[in-house]
Amino acid sequence: MVNSTYQYTQTLLGTTVSLILIEPNETVAQVVFDTITQLENRLTVNRPISEVMLINLAAGEHSVVVSRSVFSLIEQAQKVSLYPDSCFNFAIGPLVKLWKIGFKGDRVPTEEQIKQQLLLTDPKDIVLNPEDHSIFLTKRGMEIDLGAIAKGYIADVVRLILHQHNIDQAIINLGGNVLTLGQSPLNDDGYWHVGLRKPFSVTNELAGIIKVKNKSVVTSGIYERFFIQNDRLYHHIFDPLTGYPLDNEFESVTVISNSSLEGDIYSTFLYGLGLERGRDFLKKHQHLSAVFLLKNKTIVLINSENFSFLLLDKQYAMSFS
């Protein structure tokens, strides 16, 4: 057992990124932060230029050849977007840009504006060509948004880098996307402790602790980015059918998985399915585990053999399935 760790922190990906190591290693931390910076520069849609923005800027005009890794990420995003009943939609960009949730100028748009943008969000209108790794958005104004999966992908790349440097015990925290490597030397039982945030707590209180070994823990929560107008809360995960934020039982959905990309995809995807369909999906996909935190103050654990959970806030009731 050890009783201290070394934490390296930088502001990247619009959040606080931290790396926790058991031995001090400034050099590796710098390699990690440089890599995250490079990947953010490729994937972001919050700046005028990136690899993804080049695709978006060419919408309705021509296809754009992208790197192998960006193509593969977009391929996976399209696959999940085309699942039957999927609320996950990587073509959601025009709505994200319209609502501006989490950014300056956020407000409820008009019905007409929403209707117009919905015409530009069909994932089938995005053509992928695996032969030359090119991508074509067939209508002017369309925009790919990889906000629901980019952090997961980046966390997996960071794990690879740490392994290449023979580091096999660490935590990568990309603001709500946590990836733990190996077993924790901090606790006798080898579990890493990952906090489950209490939604909307201004003091960052925890509802509970998720204990895992060598797993990714990714949360999609409506408290991450939101605004309130006329006593109604509007958050950042949209229903691709209505163009409004999804409305269901969930305050947050946490997925525990081996790959962080998978965790990020499915935290957003399950958020969209809602409680009953989400539970059914997970029963058919036992390699994924989840913690659903409901508006009615119930915490539901699903496929809970892959982790252990400690309830901290007794106002929540627990349920297992």
Binding residues for ligand AMP (CB under 6 A): 87-90, 92, 96, 145, 147-148, 220, 224-225, 236-238, 240, 264, 267-268, 272
**What are the Cα distances from residue 161, in Å, to 85, 87, 143, 168, 227?**
36, 33, 31, 10, 37
Q: Which residues pair with 301 in a beta bridge?
A: 291, 320
Binding site partner of 292, from Mg ion, ligand AMP, none, Cβ cut-off 5-8 A by kind: none
Which residue has its beta carbon closest to ligand AMP? 147
Tally the residues of the chain. 321
- The nearest distance, CB 78 to ligand AMP, in angstroms, is 11
Nearer to ligand AMP, 169 or 198 (CB): 198
Cα–Cα distance between 119 and 250 in angstroms, integer?
Answer: 27
Nearer to ligand AMP, 147 or 208 (CB): 147
- The nearest distance, CB 45 to ligand AMP, in angstroms, is 8
- The nearest distance, CB 101 to ligand AMP, in angstroms, is 7
Coil/strand/helix, residue 262: helix
The answer to whether 46 and 208 are in contact (CB under 8 A) is no
Binding site partner of 215, from ligand AMP, Mg ion, none, Cβ cut-off 5-8 A by kind: none
- The nearest distance, CB 238 to ligand AMP, in angstroms, is 4
- The nearest distance, CB 136 to ligand AMP, in angstroms, is 20
Which residue has its beta carbon closest to Mg ion? 268
* Secondary structure percentages of the chain, helix, strand, coil, to 5: 30, 30, 40
The answer to whether 125 and 139 are in contact (CB under 8 A) is yes
Binding site partner of 251, from ligand AMP, Mg ion, none, Cβ cut-off 5-8 A by kind: none
- The nearest distance, CB 267 to Mg ion, in angstroms, is 5
The answer to whether 10 and 17 are in contact (CB under 8 A) is yes
Residue 164: exposed, middle, or buried by beta-carbon count in 10 A (0-12, 13-18, 19+)? exposed
Binding site partner of 87, from Mg ion, ligand AMP, none, Cβ cut-off 5-8 A by kind: ligand AMP
- The nearest distance, CB 94 to ligand AMP, in angstroms, is 11
CB neighbours of 243 closer than 8 A, spacing ≥ 6? Answer: 95, 114, 115, 117, 118, 121
Distance of CA 174 to the CA centre of its chain: 9
Binding site partner of 266, from Mg ion, ligand AMP, none, Cβ cut-off 5-8 A by kind: none
Q: How many CA atoms lie within 13 Å of 218's alpha carbon, on the beta-carbon side?
A: 30
The answer to whether 71 and 133 are in contact (CB under 8 A) is yes
The answer to whether 174 and 277 are in contact (CB under 8 A) is no
Nearer to ligand AMP, 212 or 222 (CB): 222
Q: Is 252 a residue that touches Mg ion (CB under 5 A)?
A: no
Nearer to ligand AMP, 152 or 208 (CB): 152
Nearer to ligand AMP, 87 or 302 (CB): 87
- The nearest distance, CB 4 to Mg ion, in angstroms, is 32
Which of the residues 263 through 302 are near Mg ion (CB under 5 A)? 264, 267-268
Cα–Cα distance between 73 and 91 in angstroms, integer?
Answer: 13
Nearer to ligand AMP, 39 or 237 (CB): 237
The single residue among 148, 179, 194, 301 that binds Mg ion, judged by CB under 5 A, is 148
Question: Which residues in this chain contact Mg ion in the complex, by CB under 5 A?
Answer: 148, 264, 267-268
